[in-house]
Amino acid sequence: MKLRLWFSLVPFLLAAQDLPPLAITSPQEGDVLRGEVTITGSTAVVDFASAQLDFKYASDSGDSWFPLVTLNQPALDSPLYLWNTISITDGDYILRLSVTLTDGSFQEVTVPITIQNDAQVAEPTTASTPTPASGIGFQAPTPFLLAASPTPTEVQRPTPTLLPPNPASLNQTTILASLGRGALVILGLFIFSAIVLRLRNY
So where are the chain's domains? 21-115
Does residue 2 carry a pLDDT above 80? no
Residue 84, pLDDT > 90, answer yes
The answer, yes or no, to whether residue 194 has pLDDT greater than 80, is: yes
Fold adopted by 21-115: Immunoglobulin-like (2.60.40)
Q: Which residue has the higher pLDDT, 202 or 194?
A: 194
Residue 104 Rama label (left phi>0; alpha psi -120 to 50; beta)? left
Q: Are 57 and 93 in contact (CB under 8 A)?
A: yes
Q: Which residue has the higher pLDDT, 16 or 22?
A: 22
Task: Enter the pTM of the model.
Answer: 0.52
b/e for 152-174, b at 16 or more Cβ within 10 A?
eeeeeeeeeeeeeeeeeeeeeee
pLDDT of residue 1: 46
| Residue 108's pLDDT band (cuts 50, 70, 90) | very high
Q: What pLDDT is recorded for position 65?
A: 95
